[in-house]
Amino acid sequence: MKPAVIFDEIYLKHDLPTHPENALRLKYFLKSLPEFDIDLLKPKPVSYEILTAVHSENYIEDVRISCSENAPGFFDADTYYNIFTFDAAIMAAGAVEKAVELVKEEKYKKIFCAVRPPGHHATKDRAMGFCIFNNVAVGAVKALSLGFQKVFIVDFDAHHGNGTQEILQNIPSIFYFSTHQYPFYPGTGSPEENRENILNVPLNAGSGDYEYAQIYTELLPQKIEPFQPELILVSAGYDIHRDDPLTDLEVTDKGVEIIVNSIIKITNNLNIPVIFSLEGGYNLHALERCGRITFAALSS
Ligand SMILES: [Zn+2]
Protein backbone atom coordinates (compact mmCIF):
# COMPACT_ATOMS: atom_id res chain seq x y z
CA MET A 1 0.00 0.00 0.00
CA LYS A 2 1.38 3.39 -1.03
CA PRO A 3 1.90 6.06 1.64
CA ALA A 4 0.22 9.45 1.38
CA VAL A 5 1.07 13.05 2.19
CA ILE A 6 -1.72 15.51 2.97
CA PHE A 7 -0.99 19.12 2.04
CA ASP A 8 -2.81 22.30 1.02
CA GLU A 9 -1.57 25.65 -0.29
CA ILE A 10 -3.44 27.39 2.54
CA TYR A 11 -0.67 26.21 4.90
CA LEU A 12 1.72 28.56 3.09
CA LYS A 13 -0.52 31.59 3.54
CA HIS A 14 -0.25 31.57 7.33
CA ASP A 15 3.11 33.30 7.20
CA LEU A 16 5.43 35.83 8.77
CA PRO A 17 8.72 35.70 6.85
CA THR A 18 10.76 37.17 9.71
CA HIS A 19 9.48 34.51 12.15
CA PRO A 20 11.20 31.11 12.53
CA GLU A 21 7.85 29.34 11.98
CA ASN A 22 7.34 30.58 8.41
CA ALA A 23 6.00 29.15 5.17
CA LEU A 24 9.43 28.36 3.73
CA ARG A 25 9.77 25.58 6.33
CA LEU A 26 7.07 23.55 4.68
CA LYS A 27 8.35 24.24 1.16
CA TYR A 28 11.77 22.91 2.13
CA PHE A 29 10.33 19.94 3.98
CA LEU A 30 8.41 18.91 0.86
CA LYS A 31 11.22 19.58 -1.65
CA SER A 32 12.17 15.90 -1.99
CA LEU A 33 8.59 14.60 -2.23
CA PRO A 34 8.68 14.20 -6.06
CA GLU A 35 11.51 11.67 -5.60
CA PHE A 36 9.03 9.24 -4.00
CA ASP A 37 6.01 7.25 -5.10
CA ILE A 38 3.68 8.85 -2.54
CA ASP A 39 0.08 9.95 -3.09
CA LEU A 40 -0.51 13.66 -2.51
CA LEU A 41 -3.93 14.33 -0.98
CA LYS A 42 -5.90 17.43 -0.04
CA PRO A 43 -7.28 17.97 3.45
CA LYS A 44 -10.76 19.15 4.38
CA PRO A 45 -11.69 21.55 7.18
CA VAL A 46 -11.87 19.90 10.59
CA SER A 47 -15.40 19.02 11.69
CA TYR A 48 -16.81 21.34 14.33
CA GLU A 49 -17.84 18.32 16.41
CA ILE A 50 -14.26 17.09 16.77
CA LEU A 51 -12.68 20.54 17.09
CA THR A 52 -15.02 21.38 19.98
CA ALA A 53 -14.16 18.07 21.63
CA VAL A 54 -10.55 19.35 21.82
CA HIS A 55 -10.90 23.14 22.16
CA SER A 56 -13.44 25.38 23.89
CA GLU A 57 -16.01 27.08 21.67
CA ASN A 58 -14.97 30.47 23.10
CA TYR A 59 -11.37 29.90 22.07
CA ILE A 60 -12.28 28.74 18.56
CA GLU A 61 -14.48 31.80 18.13
CA ASP A 62 -11.72 34.06 19.45
CA VAL A 63 -9.30 32.69 16.84
CA ARG A 64 -11.85 33.08 14.05
CA ILE A 65 -12.71 36.67 14.97
CA SER A 66 -9.09 37.67 15.56
CA CYS A 67 -8.09 36.43 12.11
CA SER A 68 -11.04 37.96 10.29
CA GLU A 69 -11.23 41.31 12.11
CA ASN A 70 -7.97 42.08 13.88
CA ALA A 71 -5.27 40.52 11.72
CA PRO A 72 -2.37 40.62 11.69
CA GLY A 73 -1.46 40.19 15.33
CA PHE A 74 -0.12 37.91 18.04
CA PHE A 75 -1.97 35.56 20.37
CA ASP A 76 1.06 35.51 22.67
CA ALA A 77 4.64 36.74 22.48
CA ASP A 78 5.57 34.26 19.77
CA THR A 79 2.33 33.04 18.15
CA TYR A 80 1.34 35.26 15.23
CA TYR A 81 -1.77 35.27 13.11
CA ASN A 82 -2.81 36.79 9.81
CA ILE A 83 -6.05 36.77 7.83
CA PHE A 84 -5.33 33.21 6.62
CA THR A 85 -4.44 31.69 9.99
CA PHE A 86 -7.89 30.45 10.99
CA ASP A 87 -8.40 28.77 7.61
CA ALA A 88 -4.91 27.23 7.70
CA ALA A 89 -5.45 26.00 11.27
CA ILE A 90 -8.79 24.32 10.57
CA MET A 91 -7.26 22.69 7.47
CA ALA A 92 -4.22 21.55 9.52
CA ALA A 93 -6.46 19.90 12.11
CA GLY A 94 -8.67 18.68 9.27
CA ALA A 95 -5.70 16.96 7.62
CA VAL A 96 -5.15 14.76 10.66
CA GLU A 97 -8.89 14.12 10.97
CA LYS A 98 -8.99 13.05 7.32
CA ALA A 99 -5.91 10.88 7.75
CA VAL A 100 -7.64 9.03 10.59
CA GLU A 101 -10.69 8.45 8.37
CA LEU A 102 -8.48 7.14 5.55
CA VAL A 103 -6.63 4.65 7.73
CA LYS A 104 -9.91 3.54 9.32
CA GLU A 105 -11.23 2.82 5.80
CA GLU A 106 -7.95 0.93 5.18
CA LYS A 107 -7.15 3.08 2.16
CA TYR A 108 -3.72 3.91 3.59
CA LYS A 109 -1.49 2.66 6.40
CA LYS A 110 1.09 5.44 6.47
CA ILE A 111 0.17 9.09 6.12
CA PHE A 112 2.20 12.25 6.70
CA CYS A 113 0.22 15.44 7.36
CA ALA A 114 2.51 18.19 6.04
CA VAL A 115 0.71 20.97 7.87
CA ARG A 116 1.17 24.41 9.37
CA PRO A 117 0.54 25.91 11.87
CA PRO A 118 1.90 23.19 14.18
CA GLY A 119 -0.24 21.98 17.07
CA HIS A 120 1.28 20.33 20.11
CA HIS A 121 1.55 23.44 22.34
CA ALA A 122 -2.07 24.50 21.73
CA THR A 123 -4.17 23.86 24.85
CA LYS A 124 -7.94 23.59 25.20
CA ASP A 125 -8.33 27.36 25.25
CA ARG A 126 -5.02 28.92 24.35
CA ALA A 127 -2.74 29.40 21.35
CA MET A 128 0.93 29.22 22.27
CA GLY A 129 4.34 28.26 20.94
CA PHE A 130 3.45 28.92 17.27
CA CYS A 131 0.44 26.54 17.62
CA ILE A 132 -3.26 27.37 17.10
CA PHE A 133 -5.24 24.11 17.14
CA ASN A 134 -3.89 20.83 18.46
CA ASN A 135 -3.75 18.74 15.30
CA VAL A 136 -2.62 15.50 16.92
CA ALA A 137 -5.18 15.76 19.74
CA VAL A 138 -7.84 16.20 17.05
CA GLY A 139 -6.58 13.02 15.39
CA ALA A 140 -6.62 11.04 18.64
CA VAL A 141 -10.14 12.13 19.57
CA LYS A 142 -11.35 11.43 16.04
CA ALA A 143 -9.79 7.97 16.15
CA LEU A 144 -11.71 7.06 19.33
CA SER A 145 -14.92 8.39 17.77
CA LEU A 146 -14.41 6.05 14.80
CA GLY A 147 -13.97 3.01 17.01
CA PHE A 148 -10.19 2.74 17.42
CA GLN A 149 -9.88 1.31 20.92
CA LYS A 150 -6.44 2.67 21.80
CA VAL A 151 -4.18 5.34 20.34
CA PHE A 152 -0.47 5.83 21.11
CA ILE A 153 1.05 9.27 20.50
CA VAL A 154 4.80 9.64 19.97
CA ASP A 155 6.05 13.24 20.20
CA PHE A 156 9.70 13.57 19.16
CA ASP A 157 9.66 17.36 18.79
CA ALA A 158 12.44 19.06 20.78
CA HIS A 159 9.81 20.74 22.95
CA HIS A 160 7.32 19.10 25.28
CA GLY A 161 3.79 18.89 23.87
CA ASN A 162 2.15 20.51 26.86
CA GLY A 163 -1.11 21.05 24.99
CA THR A 164 -1.43 17.45 23.86
CA GLN A 165 -0.68 16.20 27.37
CA GLU A 166 -3.14 18.59 29.00
CA ILE A 167 -5.99 17.88 26.56
CA LEU A 168 -5.66 14.08 26.53
CA GLN A 169 -4.20 13.08 29.90
CA ASN A 170 -7.54 12.02 31.40
CA ILE A 171 -8.36 9.64 28.54
CA PRO A 172 -6.86 6.27 29.53
CA SER A 173 -7.23 4.82 26.03
CA ILE A 174 -4.75 7.42 24.73
CA PHE A 175 -1.04 7.16 25.64
CA TYR A 176 1.22 10.20 25.29
CA PHE A 177 4.98 9.56 24.97
CA SER A 178 7.32 12.54 24.61
CA THR A 179 11.06 13.07 24.36
CA HIS A 180 12.13 16.69 24.69
CA GLN A 181 14.91 19.00 25.80
CA TYR A 182 14.44 19.76 29.50
CA PRO A 183 14.43 22.14 31.26
CA PHE A 184 13.28 24.17 28.28
CA TYR A 185 10.24 25.83 26.71
CA PRO A 186 7.36 25.40 27.60
CA GLY A 187 8.54 24.29 31.06
CA THR A 188 6.39 21.17 31.34
CA GLY A 189 7.32 17.57 30.62
CA SER A 190 9.05 16.50 33.82
CA PRO A 191 8.77 12.89 35.00
CA GLU A 192 6.63 14.15 37.93
CA GLU A 193 3.83 14.64 35.39
CA ASN A 194 3.97 10.99 34.31
CA ARG A 195 1.00 8.74 34.95
CA GLU A 196 -0.32 5.48 33.61
CA ASN A 197 -0.88 6.93 30.14
CA ILE A 198 1.79 9.68 30.11
CA LEU A 199 5.52 9.08 29.71
CA ASN A 200 7.76 12.10 29.56
CA VAL A 201 11.42 11.42 28.79
CA PRO A 202 13.23 14.71 29.43
CA LEU A 203 16.68 15.04 27.87
CA ASN A 204 19.55 17.32 28.73
CA ALA A 205 20.75 19.91 26.24
CA GLY A 206 23.45 18.23 24.18
CA SER A 207 21.71 14.87 23.99
CA GLY A 208 22.09 13.35 20.55
CA ASP A 209 21.97 10.25 18.40
CA TYR A 210 23.12 7.84 21.11
CA GLU A 211 20.44 8.82 23.62
CA TYR A 212 17.71 8.98 20.97
CA ALA A 213 18.67 5.62 19.46
CA GLN A 214 18.41 3.93 22.86
CA ILE A 215 15.04 5.50 23.59
CA TYR A 216 13.49 4.91 20.19
CA THR A 217 14.80 1.41 19.53
CA GLU A 218 14.55 0.01 23.08
CA LEU A 219 12.29 2.00 25.41
CA LEU A 220 9.62 2.99 22.88
CA PRO A 221 8.76 -0.53 21.64
CA GLN A 222 8.69 -1.70 25.28
CA LYS A 223 6.06 0.94 26.04
CA ILE A 224 4.00 0.60 22.87
CA GLU A 225 3.64 -3.17 22.67
CA PRO A 226 1.90 -3.82 26.03
CA PHE A 227 -0.48 -0.88 25.43
CA GLN A 228 -1.73 -2.65 22.28
CA PRO A 229 -2.66 0.48 20.32
CA GLU A 230 -4.62 0.26 17.09
CA LEU A 231 -3.15 3.50 15.74
CA ILE A 232 0.04 5.50 16.25
CA LEU A 233 0.06 9.27 15.87
CA VAL A 234 3.39 11.07 15.66
CA SER A 235 4.12 14.69 16.50
CA ALA A 236 7.05 14.99 14.12
CA GLY A 237 9.20 17.90 15.22
CA TYR A 238 12.51 18.17 13.43
CA ASP A 239 13.84 20.85 15.77
CA ILE A 240 15.76 18.00 17.43
CA HIS A 241 18.29 18.42 14.62
CA ARG A 242 21.74 19.71 15.61
CA ASP A 243 21.44 22.47 12.97
CA ASP A 244 18.22 23.82 14.48
CA PRO A 245 18.57 27.46 15.60
CA LEU A 246 16.08 27.27 18.49
CA THR A 247 17.22 24.19 20.40
CA ASP A 248 20.32 22.59 21.87
CA LEU A 249 19.98 18.94 20.91
CA GLU A 250 22.61 17.22 18.78
CA VAL A 251 20.61 14.81 16.66
CA THR A 252 22.17 14.31 13.22
CA ASP A 253 20.50 13.18 9.99
CA LYS A 254 21.41 9.64 11.03
CA GLY A 255 19.67 10.07 14.37
CA VAL A 256 16.50 11.34 12.69
CA GLU A 257 16.62 8.31 10.41
CA ILE A 258 16.91 5.96 13.39
CA ILE A 259 13.93 7.60 15.14
CA VAL A 260 11.65 7.58 12.11
CA ASN A 261 12.66 4.08 10.99
CA SER A 262 12.13 2.75 14.49
CA ILE A 263 8.58 4.16 14.62
CA ILE A 264 7.82 2.66 11.19
CA LYS A 265 9.29 -0.69 12.22
CA ILE A 266 7.12 -0.80 15.36
CA THR A 267 3.97 -0.05 13.36
CA ASN A 268 4.91 -2.69 10.77
CA ASN A 269 5.52 -5.28 13.49
CA LEU A 270 2.16 -4.54 15.11
CA ASN A 271 0.49 -4.22 11.70
CA ILE A 272 -1.20 -0.95 12.66
CA PRO A 273 -1.45 2.38 10.80
CA VAL A 274 0.68 5.42 11.56
CA ILE A 275 -0.06 9.09 10.97
CA PHE A 276 2.63 11.74 11.27
CA SER A 277 1.87 15.42 11.73
CA LEU A 278 4.51 18.11 11.25
CA GLU A 279 5.37 20.12 14.36
CA GLY A 280 8.65 22.11 14.69
CA GLY A 281 11.94 22.31 12.79
CA TYR A 282 13.47 25.67 11.92
CA ASN A 283 16.60 25.07 9.85
CA LEU A 284 15.49 24.96 6.23
CA HIS A 285 18.25 22.71 4.92
CA ALA A 286 17.88 20.27 7.82
CA LEU A 287 14.13 20.23 7.13
CA GLU A 288 14.73 19.29 3.51
CA ARG A 289 16.98 16.40 4.54
CA CYS A 290 14.57 15.31 7.30
CA GLY A 291 11.75 15.32 4.78
CA ARG A 292 13.69 13.03 2.46
CA ILE A 293 14.58 10.70 5.36
CA THR A 294 10.94 10.55 6.47
CA PHE A 295 9.48 9.99 3.00
CA ALA A 296 12.02 7.21 2.41
CA ALA A 297 10.99 5.55 5.68
CA LEU A 298 7.29 5.83 4.82
CA SER A 299 8.00 4.27 1.41
CA SER A 300 10.09 1.38 2.77
ZN1 LIG B 1 9.48 22.24 18.90
- β-strand partners of 186: none
What's the pLDDT score for residue 265?
98
Q: Nearest-CA neighbor of 153 among 172, 178, 123, 134? A: 178
The reported pLDDT for the residue numbered 229 is 98
pLDDT above 90 coverage of the chain, percent = 100
Q: 240 C-alpha to center of ligand 1: Å?
A: 8
Give the pLDDT band of residue 115 (cuts 50, 70, 90).
very high
pLDDT at site 209: 98
CA–CA distance from 233 to each of 32, 66, 79, 247 (Å)? 23, 30, 24, 23
pLDDT score, position 110: 98
pLDDT of the residue at 18: 97
Active site residue 19: no
Average pLDDT of span 139-165: 98
6 band by pLDDT with thresholds 50, 70 and 90 = very high
pLDDT-based confidence at 60, cuts 50/70/90?
very high
pLDDT of residue 153: 99
Structure confidence at residue 78 (pLDDT): 95
Residue 241 CA to ligand 1 centre (angstroms): 11
Q: How confident is the model at residue 111 (pLDDT cuts 50, 70, 90)?
A: very high
pLDDT the model gives residue 19: 98
Span 275-300, mean pLDDT?
98
pLDDT band at 287 (very low <50, low <70, confident <90, very high): very high
Residue 37: burial class (beta carbons within 10 Å; 0-12, 13-18, 19+): exposed
- Catalytic-role residue among 14, 55, 120, 121: 121
What spacing in Å lies between the alpha carbon of 86 and ligand 1's midpoint?
A: 21
Write down the pLDDT at residue 204: 98
Closest C-alpha among 148, 180, 149, 183 to residue 164: 180
Q: Are 59 and 125 in contact (CB under 8 A)?
A: yes
**pLDDT the model gives residue 225:** 97
Burial label for 261, CB within 10 Å (0-12, 13-18, 19+), is middle
- Distance from Cα 265 to the centre of ligand 1, integer Å: 24
Q: What is the mean pLDDT of the chain?
A: 98
- Residue 144's CB: how many other CB atoms inside 10 A? 18
| pLDDT tens readout for residues 61-84 | 999 999 999 999 999 999 999 999
Q: Map out the domains of the chain as residue ranges.
A: 4-299
pLDDT at res. 55 = 98
The stretch 167-196 carries a mean pLDDT of 98
Q: How far is the CA of 49 from the centre of ligand 1 (A)?
A: 28
The pLDDT of residue 49 is 98
Find the helix or strand (DSSP H, E) in which 224 lies.
Answer: helix 220-227
Q: Classify domain 4-299 at the CATH topology level.
A: Arginase; Chain A (3.40.800)
- The alpha carbon of 213 and the centre of ligand 1 are apart by a number of angstroms equal to 19
